Each structure stands twice: as structure tokens, then as C-alpha cells.
Amino acid sequence: MLSIVSHPDNNSQISMIAEWMIGNNGRLKKPLVMFYSELIGLSEERLKTLVFRFDTRKNNKAETWGVNRIRLNPDAYANTDDPAWLGTIAHEITHEYDYYQSSFPDFLIRFWDRTGIKFREFILGMPHEKAYKASRMEKQAFAVQAVIMDFVRTYSPQKILSDSTLSEQEKVELVLKMAEEYKSKKMVV
């Protein structure tokens, strides 16, 4: 199912994304909040407050500009319920949390991060993609994204999350059970 989502501050920006991910209010659905809380370790309360906008630049899948300023490109993937969305959202949530826990203003954090990328690219001669991935913020976000995508490849949680015959509570229970199993297997290795 698709959901038409508009950001409360920007009603002219209306986009479509899978209803089981983000509700009409631009917030993560409860099963997804529990999913990220369990696998990433962020508090449920924090994840419940995030509001997603759908007005990012078309050349990006998503971008985060500061505390509670996550912007997604609903056209980033061919299918609105593509499992890669789970990894992309985790990546952006990680960035948002970096901004949230910092005592510096958002624009300074972004400036330092972007300056470091440009330094590696133009002064050290790194290719753009390598310079980008060498950023401390990006390394951390890609590591979180890798964990989520490994989980997605192993368990296909999107099948449960998108199942309209299950209640929200059943989805939460099943996702938490899979996450516990995943974490226990990873701890053994």
C-alpha cells in the first residue's frame, strides 16, 4: 500500500512512500520504530519524534541537514516499498542522531563534515565517492546501514511489516523476535 505523505511545514510537497514505513504525519510507524530501536540502539521516544520530509534534491536518495531535518527522495527506488529504504532510513537516522547529541549547531557540524570531504577530494586527490565514505559521519552511518541491510537480507522483515493482515502489535512482536534472534547469532560469531 502507498501513503500520501506531506510534511506539516511544507504542505505543497506531497509524495508517495510505502504506508508501512512512514505514516501520513511523516513519522515512522510503530513497528519500524521498534525495529530501529532494537537493531540500532536508539531510544523509541527519540525515533517517534522524527518527522520525514519528501523534498530532497533529486540526485540524492536522502539527506539530513540537522536535528529532525531528514529529507527523502520518494523516487530514489523503483518500488516505494523497496527493502533498501530500510537501510537508507537507518543511514539518515544515524546522521540525525549525530546532530541531536552534539553541542555544536547543526550548520557547523555539516560544514566541518563537508569541508573534510572536499579536503580529501581536492587536496589529497581522492575520488569523490572515496572521500565521501572516509567522513567520520558517513563511516558510522554506512556501518549502521550495513547492519540493517544484512538483517533485511537474512530475515526479509518488509514482508511482515507490509502484511496488512497482521495487527501493529503482532508486527512489533515478530520484528522484535527476529531482531533478538539476529543479535544472538551475531554475538556468537
Phi-psi region at 68: left, alpha or beta (left = phi > 0; alpha = psi -120 to 50): left
Helices 136-155, 106-118: crossing angle, 10 deg rounding: 90
Distance CA 169, CA 163 (A): 12
- pLDDT tens for each residue of 10-66: 443 444 677 888 988 899 999 999 999 999 999 999 999 999 998 888 888 999 988
CA 120, CA 103: separation in Å to the nearest integer?
25
Please write the tens of the pLDDT for every residue from 84-136. Answer: 899 999 999 999 999 999 888 888 888 888 899 889 988 899 998 888 888 88
* 6 pLDDT higher than 80: no
Give residue 109's pLDDT. Answer: 86
pLDDT digits (tens, 9 = 90+) for 126-151: 998 888 888 888 999 999 999 999 99
**Residue 43: its H or E element:** none
Kindly tell me the number of DSSP H helices and DSSP E strands found in the chain. Answer: 8, 5
Does this model's pTM top 0.75? My answer is: yes
The Cβ of residue 97 has, within 10 Å, a number of other Cβ atoms equal to: 22
pLDDT digits (tens, 9 = 90+) for 156-175: 999 999 899 999 999 999 99
CB 91 within 8 A of CB 47: no
Q: Residue 2: enclosing H or E segment and its boundaries?
A: strand 2-7
